[in-house]
């Protein structure tokens, strides 16, 4: 016998989005993460809680200038004061092959509500990106080639 207030799978999950722990991940973002390869450009994501009633993961196209070559220094200089997830291919110094890494950017002093949404959504993003190496950064000065290489040596 069914519970009086139970919902079917179709009623719980919208077919156009993947349900994360706290926020929705639209199918187009899911496709970007599942299809991420070593030749892919960096992907920067954030949880938007203002544009709809349900927090939703979105692409941040304002951090990097598409006309410039990518560099860790340019990324560090342009990071906002709100949490972001950066997925990128990175070749550590002394390594033969690049790795897909996920930079978990939670700046010191960011709004508590934003960081909670970010942290609650991160595991779903990690799974979609096929469990990349995760590096947490809280200060833009930490985001350097040297720091990334040192943190990746621990894996």
d(CA 68, CA 155): 30
d(CA 54, CA 119): 16
pLDDT single digits (tens) 86-129: 999 998 888 888 889 999 999 999 999 999 999 999 999 999 99
pLDDT over 50 at 68, yes or no: yes
Asked whether the predicted pLDDT for residue 76 surpasses 90, the reply is yes
- 66 in a structural domain: yes
Domain-embedded: residue 108: yes
- Supply the CATH number for residue 69's domain: 3.40.20.10
Number of domains in the chain: 1
The answer to whether residue 1 is domain-embedded is no
The verdict on residue 50 lying in a domain is: yes
pLDDT at 47: 94
13-56 pLDDT, tens digit each = 445 555 445 888 999 999 999 989 888 889 999 999 887 788 99
The span from the CA of 150 to the CA of 148, in Å, is 5
Pick 12 or 66 by higher pLDDT. 66
Q: Return the higher-pLDDT residue of 81 and 18.
A: 81
Position 16 scores a pLDDT of 53
Distance of CA 124 to the CA centre of its chain: 9
Residue 139 falls inside a structural domain: yes
Residues paired with residue 8 on neighbouring β-strands, in sequence order: none
Examine residue 141 and state whether it is found in any structural domain, yes or no.
Answer: yes
Determine how β-strand 56-59 pairs with β-strand 84-90: unpaired
Domain annotation covers residue 4:
no
Within a domain: 2: no
Give the predicted TM-score (pTM) of the model. Answer: 0.82
Phi, psi of 153 (to 5 degrees): -65, -25
Which residues span the domain enclosing 61?
A: 11-153
């Amino acid at each position: 016998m069914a519970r009086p207030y139970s919902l079917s799978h179709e009623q719980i999950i919208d077919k156009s989005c993947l349900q994360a722990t706290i926020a929705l991940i639209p199918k187009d973002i899911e496709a970007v993460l599942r299809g991420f390869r070593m030749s892919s450009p960096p992907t920067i994501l954030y949880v938007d809680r203002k544009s709809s009633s349900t927090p939703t993961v979105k692409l941040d196209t304002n951090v990097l200038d598409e006309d410039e070559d990518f560099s860790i220094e340019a990324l560090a200089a342009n990071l906002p004061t709100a949490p972001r997830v950066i997925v990128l291919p990175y070749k550590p110094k002394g390594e033969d092959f690049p790795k897909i890494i996920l930079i978990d950017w939670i700046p010191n002093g960011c709004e508590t509500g934003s960081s909670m949404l970010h942290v609650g959504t991160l595991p779903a993003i990690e799974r979609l990106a096929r469990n990349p190496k995760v590096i947490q950064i809280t200060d833009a000065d930490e985001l350097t080639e040297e720091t990334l290489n040192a943190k990746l040596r621990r894996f």
